[in-house]
Amino acid sequence: MEGDPAKSARKEPARARRQRHQVAKNRPPAGSTPGTLAPAAAASATRIRAMRYGPDGCEEREIQDARELAAFCRPEAFLWVDVQGLGDRAALEWISAHFQLHPLVLSDVVHLPQRPKSESYPGSIFTVARRLRWKGDPEDLVDERQVSLVLGERHVLSFQEGPDDVFEPVRQRLLRGGGRIRVLGSDYLAYALLDAIVDEYLPLMDRLGAALEHIEERVIECPSRALLTELARLKGDLIAIRRDIWPQREALHGLMRGDVGAISPEVQPYLRDVHDHCVQVAEVLEVYREIAASVMNLYLTSIANRTNEVMKVLTVVSTIFIPLTFLVGLYGMNFRHMPEYGWTWAYPVLLLLMLVGSIAMVVVFRRRGWLGRPPE
Amino acid sequence: MEGDPAKSARKEPARARRQRHQVAKNRPPAGSTPGTLAPAAAASATRIRAMRYGPDGCEEREIQDARELAAFCRPEAFLWVDVQGLGDRAALEWISAHFQLHPLVLSDVVHLPQRPKSESYPGSIFTVARRLRWKGDPEDLVDERQVSLVLGERHVLSFQEGPDDVFEPVRQRLLRGGGRIRVLGSDYLAYALLDAIVDEYLPLMDRLGAALEHIEERVIECPSRALLTELARLKGDLIAIRRDIWPQREALHGLMRGDVGAISPEVQPYLRDVHDHCVQVAEVLEVYREIAASVMNLYLTSIANRTNEVMKVLTVVSTIFIPLTFLVGLYGMNFRHMPEYGWTWAYPVLLLLMLVGSIAMVVVFRRRGWLGRPPE
Amino acid sequence: MEGDPAKSARKEPARARRQRHQVAKNRPPAGSTPGTLAPAAAASATRIRAMRYGPDGCEEREIQDARELAAFCRPEAFLWVDVQGLGDRAALEWISAHFQLHPLVLSDVVHLPQRPKSESYPGSIFTVARRLRWKGDPEDLVDERQVSLVLGERHVLSFQEGPDDVFEPVRQRLLRGGGRIRVLGSDYLAYALLDAIVDEYLPLMDRLGAALEHIEERVIECPSRALLTELARLKGDLIAIRRDIWPQREALHGLMRGDVGAISPEVQPYLRDVHDHCVQVAEVLEVYREIAASVMNLYLTSIANRTNEVMKVLTVVSTIFIPLTFLVGLYGMNFRHMPEYGWTWAYPVLLLLMLVGSIAMVVVFRRRGWLGRPPE
Amino acid sequence: MEGDPAKSARKEPARARRQRHQVAKNRPPAGSTPGTLAPAAAASATRIRAMRYGPDGCEEREIQDARELAAFCRPEAFLWVDVQGLGDRAALEWISAHFQLHPLVLSDVVHLPQRPKSESYPGSIFTVARRLRWKGDPEDLVDERQVSLVLGERHVLSFQEGPDDVFEPVRQRLLRGGGRIRVLGSDYLAYALLDAIVDEYLPLMDRLGAALEHIEERVIECPSRALLTELARLKGDLIAIRRDIWPQREALHGLMRGDVGAISPEVQPYLRDVHDHCVQVAEVLEVYREIAASVMNLYLTSIANRTNEVMKVLTVVSTIFIPLTFLVGLYGMNFRHMPEYGWTWAYPVLLLLMLVGSIAMVVVFRRRGWLGRPPE
Amino acid sequence: MEGDPAKSARKEPARARRQRHQVAKNRPPAGSTPGTLAPAAAASATRIRAMRYGPDGCEEREIQDARELAAFCRPEAFLWVDVQGLGDRAALEWISAHFQLHPLVLSDVVHLPQRPKSESYPGSIFTVARRLRWKGDPEDLVDERQVSLVLGERHVLSFQEGPDDVFEPVRQRLLRGGGRIRVLGSDYLAYALLDAIVDEYLPLMDRLGAALEHIEERVIECPSRALLTELARLKGDLIAIRRDIWPQREALHGLMRGDVGAISPEVQPYLRDVHDHCVQVAEVLEVYREIAASVMNLYLTSIANRTNEVMKVLTVVSTIFIPLTFLVGLYGMNFRHMPEYGWTWAYPVLLLLMLVGSIAMVVVFRRRGWLGRPPE
């Protein structure tokens, strides 16, 4: 009776986790014309924030429709359009029309999840990045979101799944105008956005590492069943994150080497830096995965160890007392003709024999290391 | 007696599974002239549906013989010939003759299973794709079929194992005429067909993922033997699917990069998109395989855990009661000279001693964490 | 006493298997001049069958000496010399002299086993292939033999370890003259010979797969020790076959891409087909190896499962009866002052208590899932 | 009560280990302008030692400020500036300004840990190396530090985490002037510094190897729980070191092949030598990692072995004595009508029967190898 | 007491094995000038044997000093200088000076162990090879030695660790003058020397394979603890050999492809042959490593199997006799009011009941396959 709520509670996070491995979460029906947009899953409002900037200044505006966007553009300025929330398909379509995006770009922006990648289209570079953030919820540690970037000659478009603040520091830097951010053009802005995303990985990895080491410590101390569940979940998280980080690394590598389009030589060292952080995260991830596998092994071995210890105790007790019990049973028999029964010293001699036998066995067990600690 | 039908029932799906790993299911005898067609395994009827289309219109016809096919062709129109069922060898041969297929192409179409691949022949590209579909049967989850495509200058041939509806949406789009499908030529049609096949992978993966997580949950809750069988079967399915997906990915990569022949630049982004989906599926598959291996490990560890728990109970009970049984056996002996028998307080004192000893042992076991839950 | 013949019988196949992993089975002494031929291991007779063919006809003759060979050659015809059995070193040397083979070629023909490879020499291509055939002997499933081919401008030499019929279908096709075999030259003949060898792999793989699945089924049903031996042997076979197939694949790849010499463009699609079959076999092999590893795991887990079940029964029985045995032992003591002995209801009350206690324990065990099946 | 200090003591090293896997130990806040330096973690003083050298002589000076540095430079001499301790951000910035370092270089110098790498910047090569040293502390075996090098046309900058003596031999060689160190320019000096770092790896590996073999020996002798902890820690260390060595190898490979900038042909063989040592260390590391995994397996198998031995003893004792105990219990029953009780030879015959039965069982167990050692 | 010598005996080989994994066995102090030679570890005498040969003749002489060497050289003849034993540093230095070796070459010759490699220096190729020989000592199976070769325009230098006869057959062939050895120049001689080294691998591999199969057989028959130690040692040997073979293969590949310098086209097929043998050995090694891992698994599974069998016996015996013992204990109680005691048929009926119960249980256990062999 009371098991039901517990069970269903346990199934909740499982369902949440399942979505992370889903590949057809939000797709148009199979076989439909490419470019067809699936209806928005949940009605998440769309907010469009445009920033127009150049060496001389920076202006921000919330965009409501296509005309407003067209009016806000200036040929001599750089433009950053940040779209938060993908619910308003109409808005996505007029943005797409304004910047002449390929139908597949919009399709990839909308149909989640896509794997991180960098692709070149005539006049623009399209890159999909994955945000990863520590959620703190013990049942579901990591929050994943997709960010899509379109990098054009003089504009950057960014598409986020929902309202979020990962780009807030970049926005502040643009408004403050310090550094090279207003000077170096749209590829530098794209770098800054990718950098903001990748920078979030580092503290996440540290948290996962701490969680892993916490489990490892306790496995050695006392391997409990709850720990096993926890470890399995953490391992699943590492596998899932890896699926994001590795293509992310490749996508950044493609951008960095300029495989997919023109990145100016001044910006390349910065992209190399982001790529480098991503490689570092990928390497740490491999380390964690290895440690996780090793901890699972440690767990199994610890359990085997403990079973061995339990068995030793059982065997020692049984091996000493079962023969003794037989002996006392022997002299509990009711045969009329058992001469020992009449002997005066029979009882104390038997007691003595049993005592000596027991001590001998204890000595043997001690030597085998089955009793007490091994001599080391 | 009654075990037999159960056994044979269990062997049925095994036989079905065996066929999936078979490589010589339908082959001509070894050493025969290349191009020799093996006789059709099962008499599956052959249905030939041709579609003639261009920017201006689209016409469909069922083709019965070579002459009809020749009559249906128009030099200025694109042609799609969809062959369903490979039983009619004569039909396959006149189609092959009409389009001047290389003998090895027809051989690969007929002799199942071939691995997915893309190959160039003079004037045409030959590609083998694998359909994968969720069957729902718990004994045999996935249905695999081969689709062979020949992409010529102005025609596409598709060969399917049996009557099927995977290309129905593409046929509808051709008849409706929306989008670019009538404009972009035969390579776009080939893309559309491949896209329809790969699109089927995504929901399949989600189903497999859900099945896997369902097993994982239950392994932690209660590892039963039935679960082990289920897991082994799912693992086998993942291995089999992987054998299909990886070459499929390569085949699409070859097509996408134009290694094997001329794909127009306009169609390449679309092929890249299909390839990308296939890569995503391949990555998810690796994730699943890792999870499956990890669940098998989890199972073993869970079982070891449970055995440990069972052993602890046995050891605690034995260690407490076996010495007590010895003690009461001791005073069940029938020696005449046992002074304790006459003592008035012997019985209650013995009871008290046994009680104290038992409590002491329980305390010790509790401290070791063998009794009750560990203090955590 | 009677164990000895059994033991030695068991060692026989081990010795046979050992030979498969041997690398120095038939080698000249270390440090000897390259080209030195080791003496023939067993006196296997050498039979030389030459075929002279062209578009117009085909003639076969058994060759006895060098002069006969020289007389049989025609500059305008293609020549195939098939050498069966490597015992007659003199014959090998005059063949080698007639076709001006590099000393290392003859050395590789004679000194078995060589790994499959393709090498170019001035004017000829040398390729080593491995035949694999199902033997049916449960102790030693697979029979391995080496076939060496030398492909010259207008001749093909084939060297086999013993009298064999793998090339019989090719010989028949040459005599019948159907297809392109007489027209396309010596590289097509080399393809036909390689195809005959690789075609033998497919049914072998299917047999191995069936054997593997048969083991898998029985492991889940009832993991016995004999099964373990069988599985270990099959696994060893898979490892050994893999060692042959992978280099075979590379050797065919080298031939196919023309890395090692001139293969005419007309023959290349055929070689690609053989290579493709070999890749397919290699992939299936990986699948089998994974399944074999997985079955070994399954075995271990099944055993752990069974041990767990056995332990549960033991624990349940012990935990119920050991305390009861103590209780009845308690009232078997012979103290004079045990007031319970005189009570009228003592016996039935004790019986009742024991019954209630036992039932309570059974209930507890049932809840824990230790008794009967878990509620699922 | 007394468990707490032990626990916290155990957590101390864990914390130390955690830092080794940290990737965000010392980073500026996410999203800040690239080049922003995070405040120094601990106030480690900065000491700047400059050496000016050429074929004719060598001078050393402690530098306090930018002016002093500028004054110390000579256009015709080579300069080595060794910065020990990264606490003084101002000093780092005027050094950076003097040598016109890219902002990302200084950022990588300061923000620890970076992965080993080699990067080219206009006019300079930046390389990050990792020092590894045996600490001897059983809780935390290896000490890791970062050394950053900037190699310019006529200068080398080295940045170390703290005061250290790894470069002391190089300094002595410069002052002594022997060999080619003063003649071959700044790239040879960079080589000498890298060589000093990589040379420290070799004795470290030997110590790790010795520790590993010490554990392996004891696992076979007597697998204890402490050993398991030790092994897990050593394995973690190997994983962590690997994370450093592999990129270090790549970084040296890049330098050696001149991918990242101009290394003179005279210095390249020396760099190849350092690279070679690093490859050797990486290979030994893989060997150690494999051995560590294998030892973990050995441990599990040893434990299983021991449990098996313990079980055999328990089973032998129980199987012999439990039936005997039943028998003597049988004749301890108090039924009035048990004819055996009156037989004169009942007792000795029963004793004899029990003796014979026991001996028979011992013989059976011996044959099965459960008692005593197997005959081998 | 008597355990000590056994223990120390067991530690001896461990120390020997440790040296095999050592990387800093014989190195100059860290940070010293490159080219500094570490003092010779053990005073192994140095013997220098020079051979001067050409198509017309061959002369051998023991060289004592630099002058003698200079006098022995002839510009028109090829020269082979074989140095056995590296103890005499002075001799090494005048040889090095005479042939103008790079300081790093001599350093690599002297500082053992180096990994096998091929490096080009101006005017010469330097290659390090590893000899591997079966020692037969069960504690330490394989003997490893380094051989360094310098291949110049018209000379070959070989450096061996000690007096040895691996090159004796080559010396004999030079003196006999058969084959191409005197004609083809110094690169052919280098090939002949490398061939002599690699030829030693083949019988070694066969011995290791035989040892491995011997262990495998016995693991299935009867998994003992001694076997585990043996297997662990063999596995360690395989890992160590692999560390030598793989770089050896690469080094030969580099030589074969002429990456590192000029090998004449006539000699290349011979080097390819050596390379091919080395690849074959590397492949066999992988097979052995896989088998070794698989045998370890087999061992664990066998042990689990045996424990399961032991447990079944224990459970069967306990489950049958513990309840019976309870029953007979029940009727051993001394209550005055136990009506059964007076019944005439109580005893035989009880006996009958116990018999029936036992038989029933035996039947149940048989059905479950816990008693006797499974029906199969």
pLDDT tens digits, one per residue of B272-318: 999 999 999 999 999 899 999 999 999 999 999 999 999 999 999 99
| Beta-sheet strand order (sheet of B155-160) | B57-63, B47-54, B78-84, B155-160, B142-152, B124-134, B117-121
All residues of chain A having their beta carbon less than 8 Å from the beta carbon of residue B280 are: 23, 114-115
**CB proximity B235 to C under 8 Å:** yes
Identity of the amino acid at C347: Y
Distances (CA, A) of C269 to B109, C266, C272: 15, 7, 5
For residue range C192-207, list pLDDT tens digits in order.
Answer: 999 999 998 988 998 8
Q: CB-based contacts of E10: which residues, under 8 Å, 6+ apart? A: D217
pLDDT of residue C78: 93
Query: How many other C-beta atoms can be found within 10 angstroms of the C-beta atom of residue D362?
Result: 15
Residue C164's pLDDT is 76
Mutate to test the interface with A, among B315, B320, B340 (most CBs of A within 10 A): B315
C132 φ/ψ angles, rounded to the nearest 5 degrees: -130, 130
Residues 137-196 of E with CB under 8 A from C: 166-170, 173, 178-179, 181, 195-196
Interface residue of D188, D321, D326 to substitute, partner E, most E CBs within 10 Å: D326
Q: Are the beta carbons of E239 and D337 separated by less than 8 Å?
A: no
Q: Is the pLDDT of residue B375 over 80?
A: no
Q: Measured between CA atoms, how close is B346 to chain C, in angstroms? A: 7
Asked if D311 has any chain E CB less than 8 Å from its own CB, the reply is: yes
State the pLDDT at residue A1. Answer: 38
* CB atoms closer than 10 angstroms to residue B26: 16
Residue B183 C-alpha, separation from nearest chain C C-alpha, in angstroms: 33
The β-bridge partners of A54 are: A57
DSSP class of residue D334? -
Task: Read off the pLDDT of residues D218-243 as tens digits, 9 standing for 90 and up.
Answer: 888 788 888 888 898 899 889 889 98
In whole angstroms, give the CA distance from residue C284 to residue B246: 13
Q: Which residues of B touch C329 (CB under 8 A)?
A: 325, 328-329, 332
Q: Say if B243 is an interface residue toward chain C (CB within 8 Å).
A: yes
pLDDT tens figures, C238-265: 988 998 999 999 999 988 887 777 788 8
Q: Which residues of E touch D168 (CB under 8 A)?
A: 31
CA distances, B150 to each of B97, B123, B257 (Å) = 13, 10, 17
Least confident of A1-10, A69-78, B149-158: A1-10
Instruction: Decide if E223 touches D, using CB distance below 8 A.
Output: yes
Of D300, D306, D325, the CB nearest to A326: D325
User: Which residues of chain B does A225 touch, with a Cβ-Cβ cutoff of 8 Å?
Assistant: 220, 302, 305
Which residue is closest to A300 within chain B, CA to CA? B301
Count Cβ atoms below 10 Å from residue D11 Cβ, excluding itself. 14
Residue C325 has pLDDT above 50, yes or no: yes
H helices, E strands: number in chain A: 10, 7
List of residues 6+ apart from D86 with CB closer than 8 A: D40, D44, D46, D92, D109, D110, D159, D161
Instruction: Spell D181-197 as b/e; 16+ CB within 10 A means b.
Output: bbebbbbbbbbbbbbbb
Asked if B205 and A24 come within 8 Å (Cβ–Cβ), the reply is yes
Q: Is the pLDDT of residue C38 over 80?
A: no
- Could you give the CA distance from residue C40 to residue C38 in angstroms, rounded to a whole number? 6
Residue type (1 letter), A369: G
Residue of B nearest to A328 (CA): B330
Question: Choosing among B328, B333, B345, B355, which should be mutated to test the C contact, i.e. which has the most C CBs within 10 A?
Answer: B328
Those chains having 3 or more beta-carbon pairs within 8 angstroms of chain B are A, C
Residue C30 is given by DSSP the state T
- What 3-state class would DSSP assign to D149? strand
3-state SS, one letter per residue, for C316-363:
HHHHHHHHHHHHHHHCCCCCCCCHHHHCCCHHHHHHHHHHHHHHHHHH
**Shortest CA distance to B303 belongs to which of E295, E293, A230, A307?**
A307
**Contact E305/D at CB under 8 A:** no
pLDDT of res. C317: 93
> Residue B305 and residue A225: Cβ atoms within 8 Å?
yes
Q: Under 8 Å CB-to-CB from A352, ≥6 apart: which residues?
A: none
Lookup: tokens for C271: 């070689």
Kindly report the average pLDDT of chain B as a whole number: 85
**Residue ranges of A 11-30 with Cβ closer than 8 A to chain B:** 11, 14, 17-18, 21-24, 27, 29-30
Contact A93, A53 (CB under 8 A): no
Residues of C in contact with E168 (CB under 8 A): 31
Distances (CA, A) of B127 to B119, B252, D326: 6, 9, 76
Q: Please report the pLDDT score of residue E19 as a whole number.
A: 46
Which residues in chain C are contacts of B27 at CB distance < 8 A? 199, 202
Contact D300 E296 (CB under 8 A): no
Nearest to B333 among A117, A304, A331 (CB): A331
Residue predicted with more confidence, D295 or A260? D295
Query: CA-to-CA distance for C134 and C208, rounded, in angstroms?
Result: 9
- As to burial, measured by CB atoms within 10 angstroms (0-12 exposed, 13-18 middle, 19+ buried), residue B231 is buried
Which band of pLDDT confidence, cut at 50, 70 and 90, is reported for residue B252? very high
User: What's the pLDDT score for residue D42?
Assistant: 60
Best of D23, D32, D111, D361 to substitute, by most chain A Cβ atoms within 10 angstroms, is: D23
pLDDT in tens, C82-102: 999 988 889 999 999 999 999
Beta-sheet pairing, B155-160 with B142-152 = antiparallel
Closest to D299 (Cβ–Cβ): which among A170, A301, A369?
A301
Contact B287 A243 (CB under 8 A): yes
**CB-nearest partner of D209 from E18, E310, E321:** E18
What is the chain B residue with the closest CA to C295?
B232
Would you state the pLDDT for residue B78?
A: 93
Q: What is the mean pLDDT of chain E?
A: 85
Per-residue pLDDT at D249 exceeds 90 = yes
How many residues are there in chain D?
376
Largest CA distance in chain C: 121
The rounded percent of chain A whose pLDDT value lies above 90 is: 47
Tokens for A64, please give them.
Answer: 């409501």
Nearest to C301 among B114, B121, B300 (CB): B300
Partners of D149 in the β-ladder? D127, D158
Residue closest to D365 by CA, chosen among E370, A370, E310: E310
Lowest mean pLDDT across B265-274, B344-353, C216-225? C216-225
**Cα gap D98→C184, rounded to integer Å:** 74
Please name the residue ranges forming H helices in chain E.
Answer: 3-21, 66-72, 89-98, 103-110, 168-176, 186-199, 201-221, 225-256, 268-330, 346-368
CA–CA separation, D123 vs D102, rounded Å?
10
Residues 100-129 (B) with a CB less than 8 A from some CB of A: none
Q: What distance in Å separates residue D70's CA from the closest CA in chain A? A: 27
Kindly tell me the sign of the dihedral angle through the C-alpha atoms of D309, D311, D313, D316: negative
**Mean pLDDT value across residues C118-147:** 86
E57 burial (CB, 10 Å; 0-12 / 13-18 / 19+) is: exposed
Q: How confident is the model at residue D248 (pLDDT cuts 50, 70, 90)?
A: very high
**In Å, how far are C322, E213, E287 from C231, measured between CA atoms?**
41, 15, 17
Which of D268, D276, D366 has the most E C-beta neighbours within 10 Å, making it the best mutation to test the interface with E?
Answer: D276
Question: What is the pLDDT confidence band of residue D2, given thresholds at 50, 70 and 90?
Answer: very low
Whole-prediction pTM value? 0.85
- Cβ contact, residue pair E326, C328, below 8 Å: yes
pLDDT of residue A163: 84
Token pair belonging to E213: 């199969």
C204, C278 contact by CB (below 8 A):
no
Give one DSSP letter per residue of C142-190, joined into a string: EEEEEEEEEEESSEEEEEESS---TTHHHHHHHHH--TTTTTS-HHHHH
Q: How confident is the model at residue B164 (pLDDT cuts 50, 70, 90)?
A: confident
Digit-coded pLDDT (tens) for D185-199? 899 999 999 999 999
CB pairs under 8 A between D and E: 187
- Dmax (CA) for chain D in angstroms is 121
Instruction: Pick from D204, D231, D301 the residue to mutate for testing the E interface (most E CBs within 10 Å).
Output: D301
Please name the residue that has the structure tokens 């006999």: E176
Whether A53 and chain D come into contact, CB under 8 Å, resolves to no
Which residues on chain D are in Cβ contact (under 8 Å) with E35?
Answer: 179
Residue A17 has pLDDT above 80, yes or no: no
Closest chain B residue to C375 measured between Cα atoms? B222
Helix axes E201-221, C225-256, angle to 10 degrees: 150
Query: Can you give the pLDDT at residue E265?
Result: 87
Type and span of the H or E element at A94: helix A89-98
pLDDT at C137 over 70: yes
Of E21, E224, E314, which is closest to D314 when you measure between CB atoms? E314
Structure tokens at B29: 């005898």
Contact yes or no for C290/C210 (Cβ under 8 A): no
Would you put residue E54 in left (φ > 0), alpha (ψ -120 to 50) or beta? beta
Q: How far is CA A111 from the centre of its chain?
A: 22
Strand pairing category for A142-152 and A155-160: antiparallel
**Residue B20 confidence class, pLDDT cut points 50, 70, 90:** low
Q: What does each C-alpha distance from A50 to A60, A73, A83 come to in angstroms?
A: 6, 9, 9
pLDDT at residue A21 tops 50: yes
Is the pLDDT reported for residue D159 higher than 90? yes
Residue D21: which residues within 8 A CB-CB, separation 6 or more? A206, A209, A213, A284, A287, A288, D240
> What average pLDDT does the structure give for chain C?
85
* pLDDT tens per residue across span D280-328: 999 999 989 999 999 999 999 999 999 999 999 999 999 999 999 999 9
User: What's the token pair of residue E63?
Assistant: 């060289």
Statement: residue B37 has pLDDT above 80:
no
What pLDDT is stored for residue C71 in this prediction? Answer: 92
- Judged by a CB distance cut-off of 8 A, whether residue B276 touches chain A is yes
- Tell me: pLDDT of C8 over 70: no
Residue A40: per-residue pLDDT: 64
Share of chain C above pLDDT 70, in %: 89
Kindly state the percentage of chain B with pLDDT values over 90.
47
CB of E206 within 8 Å of a chain C CB? The answer is: yes
Using a CB–CB cutoff of 8 Å, tell me whether D361 touches chain A: no
CA dist B295 and B283 (Å) reads 18
> Cβ of D317 and A312 within 8 Å?
no
Task: Find out whether C247 and C115 touch, Cβ atoms under 8 Å.
Answer: yes
Contact at 8 Å (CB) between D224 and A376? Answer: yes
CA distance D34 to D28: 9
With beta carbons under 8 A apart, name residues in chain D contacting A315.
310-311, 313-314, 317
What are the Cα distances from residue D41, in Å, to C94, D112, E64? 82, 10, 64
| pLDDT recorded at residue C150 | 95
How far D261 CA sits from the closest chain A CA (Å)?
A: 15
Q: Write the single-letter amino acid at A353.
A: L
